[in-house]
Amino acid sequence: MSKTEKKKRKKFEDKVHGRNGFGGLREYLAEFVYGGMDGSVTTFAVVAGAVGAELGVGVVLILGFANLFADGLSMSIGNYLSVKSEIDEYKRQEKVEYWEVDNLPHKERDEIREIYEAKGFEGDLLEKVVDVITADRDRWVDVMMKEELNLQYPAASPFKTALATFSAFVVVGFIPLMSYVVSYFYLIPPARLFVLSSVFTGLAFVFIGFLKSYVTHAPRLRSIIETLMLGAIAAFVSYYVGDFLRSIIGAV
């Protein structure tokens, strides 16, 4: 096989199996993308709502940073517990399978035979496959976990998953607040603050949408447009809710 053919084959396999060029960070790309998306959308929504309510820059920053760290921490803890629960469940089921292999070997051997018989193996070949698998206790349990229970040990670390989520939430979620932070050091007309925030956030949405296309394997342009629309809808709703509440409270 020529080098060109090998490259074409690898590219095809990467596409089929959902692989990309992110190496060992591949498991955490999805967490980074969705953490960043949630951070930018919710923070921008807070900013838009505060602007619609005609709140001051200081209030915008207080609400924005409170959302940034509280929601980011909440989301990362949720992801940590989710991955940890998957690992705990895998280990619990694994202990059960080890007990069954040690105490009910004939039953477990029959189950291996049934699994591979259903795959089309038969006769001497089927018996050889069963003998090879059951000859090693760890391999035997591993096959039972995958083939009988459809369980795979989670590739991601709970801590790294939580860290990827929190980092993305805070870093990308900070972007809608950038213009308001800068206004404390450089004079920026109040009317321009929200415009600048919208522009910066729009660029963040484009970046996140671009990365999301690698996670969902969707066309890049469609992924970017979907992310922009999601952010725009959230900001639109928040702005007019803030404006509506301001008119009601102001009239009381």
Task: Tell whether 40 is covered by a domain.
Answer: yes
* Per-residue pLDDT at 162: 93
Task: Tell whether 209 is covered by a domain.
Answer: yes
- pLDDT over 70 percentage in the chain: 88
Q: Which of 73-82, 208-217, 230-239 has the highest mean pLDDT?
A: 73-82
* Per-residue pLDDT at 25: 58
Task: Tell whether 16 is covered by a domain.
Answer: no
- DSSP conformation letters of 61-113: HHHHHHHHHHHHHHHHHHHHHHHHHHHHHHHHHHHHHHHHHHH-HHHHHHHHH
Closest CA to 205 of 41, 47, 68: 41
Task: Tell whether 146 is covered by a domain.
Answer: yes
Give the number of residues written for the chain.
252
pLDDT value at 72 more than 60: yes
Owning domain of residue 36: 22-251
Task: Tell whether 17 is covered by a domain.
Answer: no
Task: Tell whether 4 is covered by a domain.
Answer: no
pLDDT value at 20 more than 80: no
* Per-residue pLDDT at 63: 92
User: In which band, very low, low, confident or very high, does the pLDDT at 251 lie, cut at 50, 70 and 90?
Assistant: very low
- Mean pLDDT confidence for 145-155: 90
Task: Tell whether 12 is covered by a domain.
Answer: no
Task: Tell whether 8 is covered by a domain.
Answer: no
* Per-residue pLDDT at 188: 84
pTM: 0.78
Please count the structural domains in the chain.
1
What is the phi/psi pair of residue 59, to 5°?
Answer: -65, -40
User: In which band, very low, low, confident or very high, does the pLDDT at 67 lie, cut at 50, 70 and 90?
Assistant: very high
Give rounded-to-5 percent helix, strand, coil for the chain: 85, 0, 15
User: In which band, very low, low, confident or very high, does the pLDDT at 10 lie, cut at 50, 70 and 90?
Assistant: very low
User: In which band, very low, low, confident or very high, does the pLDDT at 216 lie, cut at 50, 70 and 90?
Assistant: confident
Closest CA to 65 of 78, 49, 51, 47: 47
- Mean pLDDT confidence for 81-89: 94
pLDDT in tens, 154-170: 888 899 999 999 999 99
CB 209 within 8 A of CB 228: yes
Cα–Cα dist 91/86, whole Å:
9
